[in-house]
């Protein structure tokens, strides 16, 4: 876990499992890695030693989680998240999404045809290889941690001994602390965070303020929330459109689709359930209409980055149609130039793009 922001976020998340009931939201912790053997399981075992009422599992079912949450207060620590079939399992997705907010419940039929209401508000950490196996709403409700393999030649970390008494002692310290901790339910939040990111970080920043680490926590919140936004395929699409347009005020949908293809964008669907492919003109227009109600307009190209594609008119878009979307979904443009850096292909969320 190379980033100090990520290490601080994880430490605060562990503490939050002891006090989450005082807050309106319990952020999910998505512990991800690009390949196997990056330490995700080791991290969950470490968290298990200090979380409140930990329930760690290498595999589970929706019914088992319902029963766990009905019978006990629990912190859910789920390994092998890429094997849970979240994108196909609607009930499991509902449970993980609803558990983000206090008071979250899901109704299910019970014995004798009677309805049973299951409380699902609980801390959840899930480990998986690559975020494409997780649903976008779950990622949106998560603090995303990207783990890496130890670089060759770097010293090895001490081998984890979960029975080391220092871990139990740390958990007792947290329990003593929480008894008298004065936590602000509405601490000052960084203005760079959107509403959902503020919901994710509010409890962690409140804890950090109580521990005298508020400045560092706010810096971590801004840094990690920016990375989370970059994982969203729609945000990446809007960034790509902004880069393609450059300073131009209009572009045809055909030229836009071709330019995105040249950048290396590969669309795999909002749920990552389609084969990776470049967006075709019709598919791009349909997507923008479906997501943002954007209608194509007859435009005459005017010297944008579509140069060389002819001067004929066609259906397309004016810059003004995207400006409000850019302000809402990707207000800073610091990452736009990276879109065209074709040094390597990486998988970002549900896009595969040259960055």
Give residue 301's pLDDT.
58
Structure tokens at 243: 């880069």
Q: Are strands 314-318 and 297-299 parallel, antiparallel or unpaired?
A: antiparallel
Which residue has better confidence, 149 or 355? Answer: 149
**279 dihedral zone (left: phi>0; alpha: psi -120 to 50; beta):** beta
- What single string gives the DSSP state of each residue in 274-318? S--BPPPHHHHHHHHHHHH-PPPEEE---SSTTTTS-S--EEEEE
Q: What is the CATH number of domain 4-230?
A: 3.40.50.300
The span from the CA of 18 to the CA of 28, in Å, is 14
Task: Give the Å distances, CA to CA, from 179 to 23, 79, 200.
Answer: 15, 30, 23
Q: Are 238 and 326 in contact (CB under 8 A)?
A: yes
Give backbone dihedrals phi and psi of 5, rounded to 5 degrees, phi first: -65, -40
- The rounded mean pLDDT for the chain is 85
- The larger pLDDT score, comparing residue 258 to residue 336, is at 258
Q: Is 347's pLDDT higher than 50?
A: no
Position 247 pLDDT exceeds 50: yes
**Interval 81-91: pLDDT, tens:** 988 888 888 89
Please, where in the chain does CATH 3.40.50.300 lie? 4-230
Least confident segment among 122-126, 216-220, 291-295: 291-295
Give the H or E element holding residue 345. Answer: strand 345-348
Is the per-residue pLDDT at 306 higher than 80? no
Residue 5 — very low, low, confident or very high, per pLDDT cuts 50/70/90?
Answer: very high
According to the model, what pLDDT value does residue 246 have? Answer: 87
Q: What is the pLDDT of residue 308?
A: 45
pLDDT of residue 101: 96
The length of the chain, given as a count of residues: 355
Confidence (pLDDT) at 2: 83
User: Nearest CA to 28 among 4, 54, 10?
Assistant: 10
The answer, yes or no, to whether residue 154 has pLDDT greater than 90, is no
pTM reported for the whole predicted model: 0.72
């Amino acid at each position: 876990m190379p980033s100090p922001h990520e290490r601080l976020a994880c430490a605060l998340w562990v503490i939050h499992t002891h006090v989450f009931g005082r807050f309106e939201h319990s952020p999910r912790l998505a512990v991800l890695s690009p390949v196997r053997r990056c330490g995700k399981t080791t991290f969950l075992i470490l968290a298990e030693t200090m979380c409140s009422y930990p329930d760690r599992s290498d595999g589970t079912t929706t019914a088992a989680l319902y029963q766990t949450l009905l019978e006990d207060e629990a912190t859910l620590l789920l390994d092998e998240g890429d094997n849970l079939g979240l994108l196909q399992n609607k009930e499991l997705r509902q449970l993980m999404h609803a558990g983000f907010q206090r008071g979250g419940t899901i109704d299910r039929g019970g014995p004798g045809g009677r309805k049973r209401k299951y409380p699902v508000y609980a801390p959840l950490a899930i480990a998986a290889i690559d975020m494409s196996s997780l649903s976008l709403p779950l990622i949106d409700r998560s603090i995303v941690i990207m783990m890496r393999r130890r670089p060759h030649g770097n010293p090895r970390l001490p081998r984890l001994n979960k029975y080391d008494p220092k871990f139990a002692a740390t958990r007792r310290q947290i329990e003593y602390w929480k008894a008298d901790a004065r936590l602000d339910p509405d601490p000052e939040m960084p203005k760079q965070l959107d509403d959902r990111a503020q919901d994710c970080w509010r409890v962690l920043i409140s804890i950090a303020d109580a521990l005298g680490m508020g400045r560092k926590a706010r810096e971590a919140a801004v840094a990690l929330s920016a990375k989370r936004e970059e994982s969203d395929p729609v945000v990446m699409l809007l960034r790509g459109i902004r880069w393609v347009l450059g300073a131009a005020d209009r572009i045809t949908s055909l030229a836009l689709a071709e330019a995105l293809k040249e950048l290396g964008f590969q669309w795999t669907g909002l749920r990552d359930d389609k084969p990776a492919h470049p967006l075709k003109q019709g598919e791009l227009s349909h997507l923008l209409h479906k997501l943002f109600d954007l209608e194509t307009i007859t435009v005459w190209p005017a010297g944008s980055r579509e140069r060389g594609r002819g001067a004929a008119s066609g259906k397309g878009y004016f810059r003004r149609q995207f400006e409000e979307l850019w302000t809402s979904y990707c207000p800073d443009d610091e990452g736009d130039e990276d879109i065209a850096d074709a040094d390597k292909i990486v998988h970002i969320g549900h896009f595969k793009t040259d960055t």
